[in-house]
Structure 1
């Protein structure tokens, strides 16, 4: 029975080749063996076996490791493109047991192809989940690539050679113009095979010209270029079968002589026009093939790099761009991962595993971002299409990161593409431009810019009577990014990046009615400029060194009439130098320097508020302050925070891995030396289950406002936390019946506990400082704890679908002073449930959805109020701190995308609807003037957003 099954599968199965090899010689001719992707055998006239005849439950083998075959030296003078058709027997282990020549291309080519194919490694074929041996056909193609000789001096005629240069250059091929010159006088038809909509060259595409008597096969090179020799007159069917692309077919008629006017015709069966070709004249034509994926969920297998953290979630660009409610912002996608609390009113900060928003750090290419969102959460300041990868580490992160007791988000930007590409994007909030492409060999540029237009729309729709609009403002923002990467050699690269953001907020009318205490000019401006540069060198696989700088200015200006003026400028410089050594496969070292220097200049003009009375409790919400006069504060200070770290990644045995590191920080304000040891371990007990755990010490310096002597405490110290985590990770294969939905999925269960101490809390104590009695304002007497369980079931992007389900149950508590009662943390959320996914429907349509069910945030109830004659107002009497909670939050968001693909460009539309069923989620309460009545403060109602994007 097994023998019959083996023979049956062998007759059915045909696996296209997936081959690439390159010679980097600097001579005028460059010979290369090249892959050819086809879905048909060499004899196109054979009848195809229908899909219905394939046994149910059968999964064909997949090439896992390809061995490059050099172009035979003895054939270099002939300079011809050939293919060798092989028959491979792949056993149950995925190894090639036997190789047979089905179609020869000559002894030299046959030997080279057979030698390489014997070393192939496959993912074995399976039938009903069990590995089975199969016999497959494999096309191994060789081609000759022509390279222009240098033009700085007359090129001497040189013999073709396959001798590689001493330092191969990384493969980066750019088609500067979509024109080419045929290399043979016998050429009849030449041109390109390109992807429809993106103009991406399809390397190795096999073209079949099928006539009644003549059948010709042509293989495109890595630039998608092809040349067809003269064919006898007659009618031909052109077929271009490429994996992951729709099968391309066209009808050609070859005429004798040169180009002339002929009567147009159509094929009777396909109703397609017949394309005239004239054998006496060289003609150029490009063929555009549509991708089956429509550019959405591409399954990519990458080499798994050495992990630096045990608990890390990485997101790819496909998962960032199409989720509803995120506007393509990579940082907003993080809010859907386990361990991240929902922020009220869509504000753009992160509450990670019960830590305060200021306790988590966001990095761009290893350097901290000065501002995440425009106006606190409207949209990210960085274009999501620049993102290569986003890593979210909720706790237990590497010693390479510091100055944080919460979590870490590290956004890595990508390099520009090797061909010019761009788009124009327009939606309800802004208009954006994106452009990328090559500048010179190895150098690629990305330019992005956006401008909001809410101010223009509001100016059109608001009525001229401004009395109905008290305190209405219109936001306006800009942002731009420019990035240049240059791969100097295969081992060395440099890059620079400049990005900036500008937010402005002002009244729509010069004189708003009411609230005369803030009458006059009102504006808010936040601007930052950043310049980054890096140099990376990796002379071997065992050594890698990277040096990077980040320098910039962040400026904030606020004016509220004549009452309040705030001018704050921060001049930042950060420096990171890291060396990685891997002397053995089981042992690696990482060491580096992470330094940050800041110059802060602060100027304030604010109402002078008398200090609180001793009987006022910190954090109670009560106040007995009185408004006396205006006060001016001028403060300038330097802050230096150098750090050094060292880490060992060791695998004593194959299933066990440990990461041990130590970080040493110095903080100048306040002056402290801190040592943070950290340890993480993972152990693969039985495949596919892995046990994980980590423990570490984390320290965070106080902010500049907290150490300011005018409204803080210059003597407070850093906050500290100890992270404990334990988890179980499983990686599972999807059933064969779900081949279009998923290939594999992961399950993760993580328990965490965080002990927080030396927390900065408010104080009403009076202390002696420099011989004077002053208010302490702040101290380090707070402690906290956060613990919980996180669950994540994740399906990575594969063909038509990706998505995940996350659930967090946890508790976060604080104790503001010794002996005080424990209370809930301000942003404590007991249950956080999120399920989301995206599915490609076909015909250019895709749909994505997100549903969230979250516990409401805690708040302090109001028991009553008292009248204050000094201020002619009422003062609230608060109840127990954070003893009440808002109702359960739940919301459904849906996004629909539609893409039109033209030969040279694409046009896409999207409709993003948040809060589809328009549920009024309560985010807080609103009180009347004497605090006797309350009303719920609800969040965003149903909010549709329509956008259009044209790209080439």
Structure 2
């Protein structure tokens, strides 16, 4: 049933929808130009190898930053990183001679900044002849007999505590004037080195320097591992925000790597949200979050669009998902697109990590004061990759073994565990799939086995358990001028409370999600549309003691207790579409509308219009605004006959926001937002 009081009437909604479809139709029939095409290399310029470095066989890598002008020439060259300074001038000179086809936005040539890398590798024969002298016991004949790829020292640099690879760290042997960088797996290698004892210095941009003494022996390969501590970081260095997608005014995005650098959150993806602007923590140990004053249950938590029923273990200790299987998180305190609905608060979305080319097996085992966990990831074949993560607390084990029996009149044994298994499959160049199986279980038992004197009836047990198990399948497809995503998720969630053996409460939900999203066009006009289906079968069982209030006719259980059972199913399909209008290169307008249907114990429908606007005033500052209507149906447990009110209908929220964002200087960005929120039909 449509609400009686709302900012927009039904006629206005239909007029808005019709105008949008009529505007899109002629533009959709035309093939839109690509929004942005990168520059392509037309003429390669090889660097001049410094003669002295070539003679002694010196290797090196130089990373340049190039400004490519609208005519394809290189207008500016900057050296970003270098393993040997003697190659910098040669690389910069060669970079200025490169020629590209210009980058284009909507068919217009633009100036862009790109990175380009030169590797300096000496000719193998020249290297052997040039370095035969001065190598201690390696005489000229011995060097010539050495294998061409011989390595005197190889190793790996990993982060202390996590076991993660340290990428692009500098490895320096100052006495021998040899230097290299670690690769994506944290590995490095040196060719032929003079025998002896040398100090190796490891220095990374994000890690503390480490010095280690290494013994190099003639004709032997020495292998060493180095562990380094991460440096301290302040919060603003970790809050780099990705540019919002069209129709997302207030998105704040964090990658998994940025999350690992934020102090105080233990590298936990969902725990970091508690520190973001507009977020407050719910009272006690609920583990929920309050976004812009909304009720804790009004914020939606998703993994790739599939709802997660439980966010934290034991009210905020750790989140239920290992950060290493995630690419990052997106947090929307408000102003999000019509793709999402059924909640009037914020939105927290986790993105799964995509498969990488040339991936290798890696993993770690972690132990802290709360739990022990493991992570393992690697390729099963060229196109299939597997990731496994699991954690289990040991608080209950410590309590049961550390305290002598009978020390306390009661026993408290909290315990939690979780697991994730992710499989990525690159089906073709235009299609890939991801499957995720995950689960979580929290239990807390308080058992009074020695009642106080005079209270023999206090023998009691209180048992609490929350859990969920399930999975999702995500299929991504793309073609010329279109993209599509298909998501199917099934989560079984349960909660159990048992007090004194006379009162018991059990609830189970089988939450099924199906999403089909499409995007058409890549130019000044884009059409996005989709289907969003959510089905929630609900089952509840309550065992009441004989003296409990009569809540309805029940069946006899043990010792005269009453057992109440209730079942219900909520079916909530939705259709949505919006259009991205880039009226000018600096102005973007995204109107959209969402139709939510509610079927099951209660029925109704809601039309929800929303609009987002972004105007880039200059390269540093952007004005933004959003306004729209959201709705939230009552929980299925609130509308069943015995436990709730079957006449409850969705309530509504009208939200408007205005903001400005910009960069004051390289290390300081500002995002100021003011918002207004009105609720009705509560």
- Whether these two folds match at TM > 0.5 is yes
State how many pairs are aligned.
Answer: 572
Residue 396 of structure 2: which of 449, 455, 466 is its match? Answer: 455
CA distance in 2: counterparts of 1:370 and 1:590, whole angstroms: 28
Whole-Å separation in 2 of the counterparts to 1:143 and 1:303:
40
Residue 534 (1) aligns with residue 457 (2): no
Q: Secondary structure at the match of 2:380?
A: strand
Aligned partner of 1:747 in structure 2 is: 670
Does the alignment pair 1:595 with 2:533? yes
Counterpart contact for 2:395–2:415, Cα < 8 Å: yes
1:738: which partner in 2? none
Deviations 1:416-458 (A, max 9, x none): 6622222222222211111122221132221111111111222
3-state secondary structure, aligned to 1:457:
helix
Identify which range, 301-310 or 668-677, moves more after superposition. Answer: 301-310
- The one-character-per-residue Cα deviations of 1:618-667 (angstroms, maximum 9, x if unpaired) are xxxxxxxxxxx843211112211111111112210122111211111111
Structure 1 residues 384, 517: closer, same or farther in 2, change over 3 A? farther
Name the residue aligned to 2:512.
Answer: 573
Deviation per CA, 1:586-628, whole angstroms, max 9, x where unpaired? 222211111111221211112465589xxxxxxxxxxxxxxxx
Q: In the alignment, which of 608, 626, 637 is matched to residue 568 of structure 2?
A: 637
Task: Decide whether the 8 Å contact of 1:193 with 1:205 is kept in 2.
Answer: no
| Distance of 1:204 and 1:116 partners within structure 2 | 28
Instruction: Kindly indicate whether residue 138 of structure 2 is the aligned counterpart of residue 196 of structure 1.
Output: no
Shift of 1:404: 0.1
Contact map agreement 2:592 2:609 (CA 8 A) in 1:
yes
- 1 CA distance for matches of 2:179 and 2:629? 65
Q: Cα 1:443–1:320, aligned 2, differ >3 Å: closer, same or farther?
A: same
- Contact kept in structure 1, 2:328 and 2:351, CA below 8 Å: yes
Which residue in the other structure is 2:20 paired with?
none
Distance 1:425 1:372 in 2: 21
Report how far residue 380 of structure 1 moved.
1.6
Instruction: Measure the CA separation in 2 of the matches of 1:117 and 1:241.
Output: 37
Larger radius of gyration: 1
Within-5 A mapping of 1:45-60 = none
Relative to structure 1, is the Cα distance of residues 658 and 475 closer, same or farther in structure 2, using a 3 angstrom cutoff? same
> What whole-Å deviation, never above 9, does each CA across 1:81-104 have from its counterpart, x for those lacking one?
xxxxxx987289x9xxxxx99879
Conserved in 1, the CA contact under 8 Å of 2:196 and 2:215?
no
Correspondence for 2:16 = none
Tell me the CA shift for residue 63 of structure 1: 4.1
2:252 corresponding residue in structure 1: 313
Task: Verify the 8 A CA contact 2:169 2:204 in the aligned structure 1.
Answer: no
| CA separation of 1:398 and 1:341: change in aligned 2, threshold 3 A | same
Change (3 A) 1:680 1:41: farther
Equivalent residue number for residue 609 of structure 2: 677
Cα offset, 1:685, TM superposition: 2.1
1:547 is displaced (CA, Å) by: 0.8
Give the corresponding residue for 1:384.
323
Tell me how far apart the structure 2 counterparts of residues 290 and 462 of structure 1 sit (CA, whole Å).
36
Aligned-partner Cα distance in 2 for 1:249–1:337 = 34
The 1:202–1:35 alpha-carbon spacing in structure 2 relative to 1, beyond 3 Å, is: farther
TM-score scaled to structure 2, two decimals? 0.71
Q: Which position in structure 1 is the counterpart of 2:387?
A: 446
| Structure 2 counterpart of 1:891 | none
SS in structure 1 at match of 2:289 = coil
- Relative to structure 1, the CA distance from residue 673 to residue 220 in structure 2 (aligned partners, 3 Å threshold; closer, same or farther) is closer
Alpha-carbon displacement from aligned partner over 1:365-388 (angstroms, at most 9, x marks no partner): 211102112233332211233332
- Do the aligned partners of 1:443 and 1:487 also contact (CA within 8 Å) in 2? yes
Change (3 A) 1:529 1:114: same
Q: CA deviation at 1:580?
A: 1.4
- Residue in structure 2 matching 1:650, options 556, 559, 581: 581
Post-superposition Cα deviations, 1:853-912, rounded to whole Å, max 9, x if no partner, equal xxxxxxxxxxxxxxxxxxxxxxxxxxxxxxxxxxxxxxxxxxxxxxxxxxxxxxxxxxxx
Whether the 8 Å CA contact 1:732–1:746 is kept in 2: the answer is yes
Q: Does 1:420 align with 2:361?
A: yes
Residue 323 of structure 1: how far off its partner (Å): 4.2
Structure 2 stretches of 5 or more lacking a match?
1-38, 56-62, 81-86, 104-115, 124-143, 552-559
CA distance, structure 2, for counterparts of residue 730 and residue 186 of structure 1: 58
8 Å CA contact 2:655–2:676 kept in 1: the answer is yes
**Given the superposition, is the C-alpha separation of residues 393 and 518 from structure 1 closer, same or farther in structure 2, using an over 3 Å criterion?**
farther
Report if aligned partners of 1:311, 1:394 keep a CA contact under 8 Å in 2. yes
CA–CA separation in structure 1 for the residues paired with 2:625 and 2:527: 20
Structure 2 counterpart SS, 1:646: strand
Cα pair distance change 1:429/1:606, threshold 3 Å: same
Instruction: State the 1:222 CA deviation.
Output: 9.4
Secondary structure at the residue paired with 2:324? helix
Contact 1:34 1:141 in 2 (8 A): no
Indicate conservation of the 8 Å contact 2:330/2:348, yes or no: yes
Matching of residue 663 in structure 1 with residue 594 in structure 2:
yes
Mapped partners of 1:35, 1:451: distance in 2: 55
SS at match of 1:398: coil
Alignment partner for residue 147 of structure 2, among 164, 182, 187?
187
The residue number in structure 1 matching 2:338 is 399
CA spacing shift, 1:450–1:579, aligned 2, 3 Å: same
Tell me how far apart the structure 1 counterparts of residues 414 and 588 of structure 2 sit (CA, whole Å): 50
Change (3 A) 1:670 1:284: same
1:90 corresponds to which residue? 76
Residue ranges of structure 1 left out of the alignment (5+ in a row): 1-19, 23-32, 47-59, 70-86, 95-99, 105-109, 122-136, 145-183, 251-269, 278-282, 613-628, 735-743, 760-952
Deviates more, 1:287-296 or 1:441-450: 287-296
2:681 aligned to 758, 770, 777, which one? 758
Partner Cα distance (2:68, 2:199) in 1:
32
For residues 538-592 of structure 1, the C-alpha deviation after alignment (integer angstroms, 9 at most, x for no partner) is 234x3211111111322222221232111222122111111112241x2222111
- For residue 401 of structure 1, report the CA deviation from its aligned partner: 1.0
Provide the C-alpha distance between the structure 1 equivalents of 2:482 and 2:437, rounded to a whole number of angstroms: 29
**Equivalents in 1 of 2:402, 2:46: separation in Å?**
59
- Residue 54 (structure 1) aligns with: none
Residue in 1 that maps onto 2:618: 686
Distance 1:523 1:189, change over 3 A: same
Give 1 or 2: higher helix fraction.
2
Contact 2:77–2:96 (Cα < 8 Å) also in 1: no
CA distance in 2, matches of 1:245, 1:323: 12
Whether contact under 8 Å (2:614, 2:625) holds in the other structure is yes
For residues 768-847 of structure 1, what are the structure 2 equivalents within 5 Å?
none
Q: CA RMSD in A?
A: 5.0
Provide the rounded CA distance (Å) in 2 between the counterparts of 1:448 and 1:528.
16
